[in-house]
Amino acid sequence: MAYVRVFDNETQVAGAAAVIIASAILHKPNVILGLATGSTPIPTYRELIRLYQNGVLDFSRVITFNLDEYCHLPAEHACSYHYFMRKHLFENINISAGNTHLPNGNAPDLAKEGIRYDMAIETAGGIDLQLLGIGRNGHIGFNEPAEQFTYESHVADLTPSTMEANSRFFEEEDMPFQAISMGIGSIMSAKEILLIATGMDKAEAIRKSLQGDIRPQIQASILRTHPKAVYLLDQAAASQLDCSKA
């Protein structure tokens, strides 16, 4: 069962998420972090940057693996997750570029790239703390609703709901329809999982993932079988939870 903590607002969610990540770095300076993109983690990254600037955190030995990247979008594109991570975190802290990893959505053989990425995570020792957001349809990374869970890193066809949610960042003709994503295996192998969700548009996905059946149509529901998963929510994202089931 996942541990759920509800805060008044997204600033508090970000503060709490940053405390958990900061504590992991302080306990283990060479911690392996799994990182997420999307608008939800941006305030958390801002907090981590502040802790670095105040001299509290040192990222020089931290290793990161991101969840996903769009396919066939240049890494320099302003909407790529490579660009996102540089802008919102990496270029503002003292992390070594060689310690940051994202799947290559432009690899000539994307199936091989998935295998390479899983091996890189395993060789590094597996993820200590995995940060996750959640899609409106319950996806994590780009593990979209499906008939079964896919454990390996893989190419995912984005669903219309995900493309619609992400279209706010793209010119219509640029919108990617595929992404390469870490699979459920690497995510669930993380020693600790931290899912953050804010806003009303996540309320249904949060309810289904925490209080519906565990099923691949709501990929995040599998997190309830993880021994150390924490959900940090604001009031809006938690608003559809049935408290009698808590």
Cα–Cα distance for residue pair 133/38, rounded to 1 Å: 7
Q: Which of 38, 103, 114, 138 binds ligand GLP (CB under 6 A)?
A: 38
For ligand GLP, which is the closer residue by CB, 32 or 158? 158
Contact status: 135 vs ligand GLP (CB under 6 A): yes
Instruction: Determine whether 172 is exposed, middle or buried from the number of CB atoms within 10 Å of its CB (0-12, 13-18, 19+).
Output: exposed
Identify the helix (H) or strand (E) that includes residue 229.
Answer: strand 229-234
Q: How many residues does the chain have?
A: 246
CB distance 21 to 48 below 8 Å: yes
For residue 5, the minimal CB distance to ligand GLP (Å) is 18
DSSP-assigned states of every residue in 121-155: HHHHT--SEEEE---TTS-BTTB-S-SS---S-EE
Q: Which of 114, 141, 176, 183 binds ligand GLP (CB under 6 A)?
A: 141
For ligand GLP, which is the closer residue by CB, 32 or 176? 176
For ligand GLP, which is the closer residue by CB, 38 or 183? 38
Q: How many residues bind ligand GLP (CB under 6 A)?
A: 13
Contact status: 67 vs ligand GLP (CB under 6 A): yes
Q: Which of 84, 90, 117, 142 binds ligand GLP (CB under 6 A)?
A: 142
Cα–Cα distance for residue pair 9/11, rounded to 1 Å: 6
Contacts with ligand GLP by CB under 6 A lie at 36-40, 67-68, 133-135, 141-142, 162
